[in-house]
């Protein structure tokens, strides 16, 4: 604005007629803000004049934005599942079936003193069969058995100092070598696999996101380009009346902004509906696994980021097109 | 106010449009530019509004050389002028009021000032009662008066009109010319391109004649 004013002054001359006809600085600021507000409203009103075209464009933008957003929500939820499992990163030792509860208890005591083990938890044969009856739904079939086929199980929580996968694997190998142990099951290995997978997912999220952001810029830019050519006459008249490029660009930038803004709201709703749809099956899974996992949606900050990025992409798309094509629109 | 010094304009496609044109227009003058169609009248006006650039020579507007003005300076040069066109160049999806308000909105006046000035300008051309109408609902003469109101609303010192009565019947043309004369009496400088010799002689004023790109002064 300052630079504009300087230019205006340079060409303003010094005649008395000019002096009383130019707006004052306060006026200028006030009318600048008023004109921005007016332009924003006008851009929205103009979009609503062609509701079908607008709805279609918004739908495409919303779908394009919903893709990386839902991917993000998916990764976020998987990460939370991973986090839950990490908190219970137990190594389960299944002892040989002929070993008694007492023998198991003695082994558990011994292992508790192991340098790399924080805690041990004994599941006796009887406790094991109770758990199985409660969670598996095979209660009646198990009651029909006249003996207990389950081994004693010792749950082991390694010390927190065991952060490297190799350290954990070494401990697992050591436990496997114990004469009392039949089978060692560790969630930790597939935890690491999950983490590696999530990392791949996040990388591809970056690439996908960048591609789809470019798509949004392109869609909005194209919409603005059509609008620009539709309003050729108007732009020519504005230029003849002394409008700066900045003034002419403004309504189009607002149009881009609105497309980004409304498109992101659309994407938010699409992702929300998707989560509502999968909520029921997730609840069923929860019942089956006895877990209390709840689906996470977009948080406040993530929503703001989505809206902010979309608005930026909209304005950027409009700006790129205006820089390219506004020069072509000239009084003949 | 306006001075042309040995100005040439050559279009790559059409050849020479203006050939060694020199003249001076003082503040408050009323000047007609006449000549057959294709003689270069429009080209000359376009050079003043920097719609076209001179191939050679200098054009000085209000003490400043506009031949070398940068693209960024062009809008501010145009704001000093009031431009009137044969085809009015109104925006047909906006009301009369909004059309006339456009130069003020572009220059950044506040809304209160805008309505005050727009009403004053519409009053001067006798269209105050039609501010809410769309331009298509007006006659040709009325549309041109909207165009004139738009050209004077920001109080320019210098009005350029390109065949302002070209599309009007004699009655409407006379009205438009009367409005121009009133402004000139108030001290506004006028440069009007027209091939209507009758109207020019009745209106009175200095006459510049263009013939195949060359200028000759006919006299007052």
Residues of chain A with C-beta less than 8 angstroms from the C-beta of B49: 240
pLDDT of A15 over the 60 cut: no
Q: Establish if B197 touches chain A: CB-CB under 8 angstroms.
A: no
Cα angle vertex A38, ends A3, B99, to 5°?
85
Q: Where are the domains of chain B?
A: 92-155
Measured between beta carbons, the chain A residues lying within 8 angstroms of B150 are: 241
Task: Compute the nearest-CA separation of A34 from chain B (Å).
Answer: 8
Identify the CA nearest to B203 among candidates B183, B185, B177, B179: B177
Give the pLDDT mean for A253-275.
95
Confidence of residue A136 (pLDDT cuts 50, 70, 90): low
* Residue A7 scores a pLDDT above 60: yes
What is the b/e burial string over A184-218, where b = at least 16 CB atoms within 10 angstroms of the residue's CB?
A: bebebeebeebeeebeebeeebeeebeebbebbbe
What pLDDT score does A163 carry?
A: 66
Q: How many CA atoms lie within 13 A of A46 on its CB side?
A: 21
- In chain A, residues 19-38 whose CB comes closer than 8 Å to chain B: 21-23, 27-28, 30-32, 34-35
Kindly list the residues from chain A whose CB atom is less than 8 angstroms away from the CB atom of residue B111. Answer: 31, 34
Give the span between the Cα atoms of A155 and B25, in whole angstroms.
Answer: 102
Contact assignment for A240 to B49 by CB distance below 8 Å: yes
Average pLDDT over residues A190-198: 77
Contacts of A22 in chain B (CB under 8 A): 107
Phi, psi angles (nearest 5°) of residue B9: -135, 120
Query: Would you call A276 exposed, middle or buried from its count of C-beta atoms within 10 A (0-12, 13-18, 19+)?
Result: exposed
Q: Is pLDDT above 90 for A4?
A: no
Does the predicted TM-score (pTM) go above 0.90?
no
Which pLDDT tens digit goes with each residue over A196-249?
888 888 888 889 899 999 999 999 999 999 999 989 999 999 999 999 999 999
Give chain B's end-to-end CA distance (angstroms, integer).
Answer: 18
Rounded to a whole number, what is the distance in Å from the CA of B115 to chain A's nearest CA? 13
Nearest to A241 among B72, B106, B113 (CB): B106
Q: What is the pLDDT of residue A268?
A: 95
Q: Cα distance from B72 to chain A (closest Cα, Å)?
A: 8
Average pLDDT over all residues of chain A: 83
Nearest to A11 among B73, B102, B150 (CB): B73
Among A42-51, A255-264, A290-299, B186-195, the range scoring the smallest mean pLDDT is A290-299
On whether any CB of chain A is under 8 Å from the CB of B220, the answer is: no
pLDDT by residue for chain B (220 residues), tens only, comes to: 899 999 999 998 888 889 999 999 999 999 999 988 888 899 999 999 999 999 999 999 988 899 988 988 999 999 999 999 999 999 998 999 999 999 999 998 888 889 999 999 999 899 999 999 999 999 998 999 999 999 999 999 899 999 998 888 888 888 888 888 888 998 899 999 998 888 888 888 899 999 888 888 776 5
* Cβ neighbours of B109 in A, within 8 Å: 23, 27, 31
Lowest mean pLDDT among A10-14, A110-114, B167-171: A10-14
pLDDT of residue A84: 64
Is the Cβ–Cβ distance between B191 and B210 less than 8 Å? no
Non-local (6+) Cβ contacts of B186 within 8 A are: none
The ranges assigned to domains in chain A are 36-85+193-328, 90-186
Task: Give CA–CA dist A265/B215, Å, rounded.
Answer: 64
* A298 against B219, higher pLDDT: A298
Instruction: Report ipTM for this prediction.
Output: 0.91
Chain A within 8 Å of B146 (Cβ-Cβ)?
no
Provide the β-strand partners of residue B33.
B193, B208
Instruction: Compute the distance between CA of residue A213 and CA of residue A63 in angstroms, rounded to an integer.
Output: 12
Please answer yes or no on whether B80 and A23 come within 8 Å at the CB atom.
no
Backbone angles phi, psi at B30, to 5 degrees: -120, 110
> Chain A interface, mutation test: which of B60, B106, B115, most A Cβ atoms within 10 Å?
B106
Q: Kindly write down the DSSP assignment for every residue of A164-187, as one continuous string.
A: SHHHHHHHHHHHHTSTTEEEEEES
- Given a cut of 80, whether residue A22 has pLDDT beyond it is no
The pLDDT confidence band at residue A14, using thresholds 50, 70 and 90, is very low
Residue A94 has pLDDT above 80, yes or no: yes
Cβ neighbors of A202 (< 8 A, separation 6 or more) are A75
- Which residue did the predictor score with more confidence, A110 or A144? A110
Number of A to B CB contacts under 8 A, please give it: 89
Is residue A112 within 8 Å of residue A119, measured between CB atoms? yes
Give how far A218 is from chain B: nearest CA, Å.
Answer: 28
| Cα nearest neighbour of B73 on chain A | A7
A21 pLDDT band (50/70/90 cuts)?
low
CATH 3.40.50.300 fits domain A90-186: no
State the Cα torsion B124-B128-B132-B137 to the nearest 10°. Answer: -80
| Residue from A91, A83, A113 nearest A169 by CA | A91
| B positions 102-121 inside 8 Å of A (CB) | 102-103, 105-111, 113
pLDDT of residue A50 exceeding 70, the answer is yes
């Amino acid at each position: 604005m300052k630079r504009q004013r300087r230019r205006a002054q340079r060409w303003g001359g010094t005649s008395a007629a000019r002096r009383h006809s130019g707006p004052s600085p306060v006026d200028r600021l006030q009318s600048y803000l008023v004109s921005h507000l007016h332009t924003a409203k006008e851009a929205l009103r103009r979009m609503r004049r062609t509701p079908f075209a607008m709805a279609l464009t918004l739908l495409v933008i919303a779908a394009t934005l919903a893709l990386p957003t839902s991917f993000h929500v998916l990764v976020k939820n998987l990460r939370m599942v991973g986090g839950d499992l990490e908190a219970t990163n137990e190594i389960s030792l299944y002892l040989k079936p002929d070993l008694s509860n007492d023998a198991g208890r003695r082994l558990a005591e011994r292992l508790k003193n192991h340098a790399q083990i924080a805690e041990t938890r004994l599941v006796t044969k009887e406790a094991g069969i109770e758990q199985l009856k409660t969670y598996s739904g095979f209660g009646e079939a198990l009651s029909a058995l006249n003996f207990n086929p389950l081994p004693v199980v010792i749950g082991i929580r390694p010390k927190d100092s065991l952060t490297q996968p190799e350290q954990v694997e070494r401990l697992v190998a050591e436990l496997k070598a114990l004469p009392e142990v039949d089978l060692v099951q560790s969630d930790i290995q597939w935890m690491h696999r999950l983490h590696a997978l999530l990392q791949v997912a996040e990388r591809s999220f970056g690439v996908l996101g960048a591609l789809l952001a470019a798509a949004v810029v392109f869609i909005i830019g194209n919409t603005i380009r059509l609008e620009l050519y539709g309003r050729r006459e108007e732009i020519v008249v504005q230029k003849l009346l002394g409008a700066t490029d900045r003034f002419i660009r403004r309504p189009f930038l607002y149009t881009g902004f609105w497309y980004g803004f409304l498109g992101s709201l659309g994407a938010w709703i699409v992702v929300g509906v998707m989560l509502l749809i999968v909520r029921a099956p997730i609840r069923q899974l929860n019942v089956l696994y006895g877990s209390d996992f709840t689906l996470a949606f977009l948080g406040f900050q993530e929503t703001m980021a989505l809206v902010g990025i979309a608005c930026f992409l909209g304005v950027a798309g409009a700006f790129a097109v205006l820089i390219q094509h506004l020069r072509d629109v000239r009084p003949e | 106010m306006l001075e042309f010094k040995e100005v040439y304009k050559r279009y790559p496609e059409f050849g020479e449009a203006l050939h060694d044109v020199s003249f001076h227009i003082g503040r408050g003058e009323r000047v007609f530019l006449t000549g057959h169609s294709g003689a270069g009248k429009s080209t000359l006006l376009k050079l003043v509004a920097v719609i076209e650039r001179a191939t050679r020579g200098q054009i000085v507007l209000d003490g400043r050389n506009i031949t070398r003005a940068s693209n960024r300076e062009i809008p501010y040069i145009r704001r000093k002028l009031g431009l009137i066109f044969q085809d009015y160049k109104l925006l047909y999806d906006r009301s009369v009021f909004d059309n006339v308000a456009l130069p003020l909105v572009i220059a950044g006046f506040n809304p209160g000032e805008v309505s005050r000035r727009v009403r004053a300008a519409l009053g001067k051309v006798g269209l105050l009662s039609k501010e809410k109408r769309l331009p298509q609902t007006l006659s040709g003469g009325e549309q041109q008066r909207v165009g004139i109101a738009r050209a004077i609303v920001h109080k320019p010192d210098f009005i350029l009109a390109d065949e302002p009565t070209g599309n009007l019947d004699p009655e409407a043309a006379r009205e438009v010319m009367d409005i121009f004369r009133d402004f000139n009496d108030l001290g506004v400088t006028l440069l009007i391109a027209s091939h209507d010799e009758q109207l020019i002689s009745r209106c009175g004023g200095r006459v510049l004649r263009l013939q195949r790109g060359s200028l000759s002064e006919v006299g007052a």
